[in-house]
Amino acid sequence: MEAAAPRGTQDILPESAEWWQQVETAAREVARRFNFKEIRTPIFEHTEIFARGVGETTDIVEKEMYTFMDKGGRSLTLRPEGTAGVVRAYIEHKLYGASPLQKLYYIGPAFRYERPQAGRYRQHHQFGLELIGSVDPAADVEIIGLTIAFYRQFGLKDLEVRLNSIGCPSCRPRFRETLINQLTSRKAALCPTCNERLDRNPLRLLDCKNPDCQAQMQDLPKTVDFLCPECREHFDKVRRYLELKGIKYELDATLVRGLDYYTRTVFEIVYRGLGAQDAMCGGGRYDGLIETLGGPPTPGVGVGIGLERLILTLEKQKVYQPQIKPLDVFIVACGEKERDQTVGLAYRLRSYGLSVDFDFQGRGMKAQLKAADRSGATVAVIFGEEELRNEMVIVKIMQDGTQQNVPLIDIETALASIIMGQKASNMG
């Protein structure tokens, strides 16, 4: 048996977990400031939710889902994205009962069977936001604005918003028809995938990455030229609100996103730092999705922010370092008898709120002191034979090696004030 994680997955080891924890904390914090509430849905759903929600002819549903039959013969799928499950929960629990408006966020894994690349995994993690129940263009800008505020917390500034509007069921058919007409005459120049998709999902051709196809897409009609008056007004307002907020954006006529549920606004955010081109996140409006999945007609808008890509960028960019909280105390015992005291003291100090560790390998005092050093602890508490006889311990400040004797009886308060003093002097 080979001890290896499945292709396209990664273990998050303790050192990287520090990054993850801080990114997740920042996500919760920014969500709180914008008054979004957390929702946690299962990582698998009935396959139908994605087939109907994301769309039968999308890459995700056709090729990328982890679908399996459970022992009861039900077809289930590991969620390939977060929105469909949140919308399913919104309908199932009638979250619209009191008010249709819900501002929800989630943090968790999503699964897609695609070719693994740097920052792209078969199990990846998303910080997702959904603002359900509003057609207000300010809702679209709330989602984009929150996403930018999230990235800015890490010092990422060189962000570019790419924006498009793909219209609604009343204006998109006319665009679709025009597109099919124009592309049919160019069929021979298009890749096999585009040929296959032309009649079923022509909008997807616009973002084909094949250079030959891209050359054919240059002078095609744009979705924004076909918008109905309502979609036009909505898009103009989104743009105006972005400008009012000082959020820079570029119009991108080829941006259509790969999911069928999008209507009107679609966007991606690209980090320009590192010469990167790839989107850090993408989202848009989905005014028909709630009805498609069996709920009352309700508009919505959201974003899925990839966390692997963000963390990879932060690690490379060095604009942000995770702040690691050091261990407070490492207890060192000089012998067997003192070791018994160690265990008791560790629990005493932990219930006082300090982080505490000690030796588990039966090592001698010298090795224990070395372990204390390696642990990064702020202080070592040393049980010496003589000190113990006098109900005292030695407290050693690891940074400068200074020592003092402290009575065991008020060790908690003494340590707390020593550790606080050390932290203050490190910050100053």
**7-27 core/surface letters (b: 16 or more CB in 10 A; e: else):** ebeeeeeeeeebbbebbeebb
| Numbers of helices and strands, H then E, in the chain | 15, 16
Rounded to whole angstroms, the Cα distance separating 135 from 55 reads 22
| Interacting residue with Zn ion among 210, 292, 341, 375 (CB under 5 A) | 210
Nearest to 415 by CA among 354, 373, 345, 338: 354
Q: Which is nearer to Zn ion, 213 or 381 (CB)?
A: 213
In the set 54, 141, 148, 194, which binds Zn ion (CB under 5 A)?
194
Q: Where are the alpha helices (DSSP H) in 361-410?
A: 365-374, 385-389
Q: Quick one: which of 107, 208, 329, 334 contacts Zn ion (CB under 5 A)?
A: 208
Which of 54, 168, 356, 380: binder of Zn ion (CB under 5 A)?
Answer: 168
| Strands ordered across the beta sheet of 67-69 | 44-46, 75-78, 67-69
Q: How far is the CB of 175 from Zn ion (least distance, A)?
A: 10
In the bound complex, what is the minimum distance in angstroms from residue 138's beta carbon to Zn ion?
Answer: 19
Provide, rounded to whole angstroms, the least separation between the CB of residue 60 and Zn ion.
17
CB of 300 to Zn ion, least distance (A): 16
Instruction: Give the C-alpha separation, 332 to 336, whole Å.
Output: 11
How far, in Å, CA of 251 to CA of 220, rounded? 15
Q: Which of 250, 289, 287, 36 is nearest to 137 (CA)?
A: 287
- How far is 200 from 58, CA to CA, in rounded Å? 10
- Whole-angstrom Cα Rg for the chain: 28
Does 191 bind Zn ion (CB under 5 A)? Our answer is yes
Stretch in the footprint of Zn ion (CB under 5 A) among 130-138, 213-221, 289-297, 325-333: 213-221
Answer for which of 228, 253, 279, 365 binds Zn ion (CB under 5 A) is: 228
Work out which of 53, 82, 133, 167 binds Zn ion, going by CB under 5 A. 167
Q: What mask, x for binding Zn ion by CB under 5 A, covers residues 108 to 147?
A: ----------------------------------------
Q: Is 166 in the site for Zn ion (CB under 5 A)?
A: no
Span near Zn ion by CB under 5 A; candidates 155-163, 205-213, 235-243, 345-353 = 205-213
Kindly indicate which of the ranges 60-68, 206-214, 310-318, 336-344 contains the residues binding Zn ion, using the contact rule CB under 5 A. Answer: 206-214
Residue 87 touching Zn ion (CB under 5 A): no
Q: Is 256 in the site for Zn ion (CB under 5 A)?
A: no
How far apart CA 143 and CA 265 sit, in angstroms, is 11
Options 39, 166, 231, 329; binder of Zn ion; rule CB under 5 A: 231
Asked whether the beta carbons of 223 and 256 are under 8 A apart, the reply is: yes
In angstroms, rounded to a whole number, what is the distance separating the alpha carbons of residues 419 and 356? 12
| For Zn ion, the closer CB: 122 or 285 | 285
Does 12 interact with Zn ion (rule: CB under 5 A)? Answer: no
Contact string 260-279 vs Zn ion (x = CB under 5 A): --------------------
Which tokens hold the place of 20?
A: 């993850």
Q: Which is nearer to Zn ion, 205 or 382 (CB)?
A: 205
Closest distance of CB 133 from Zn ion, Å:
20
Question: Which span (100-108, 126-134, 162-170, 333-341) binds Zn ion, by CB under 5 A?
Answer: 162-170
C-alpha–C-alpha distance, residues 171 and 231, integer Å: 8
Cβ–Cβ under 8 Å, residues 302 and 130: yes
Token digits of residue 53: 């929600």
Among 26, 183, 206, 213, binds Zn ion (CB under 5 A): 213
Query: Judged by CB under 5 A, how many residues of this single chain contact Zn ion?
Result: 10
Give the residues lining the site for Zn ion (CB under 5 A).
Answer: 167-168, 171, 191, 194, 208, 210, 213, 228, 231
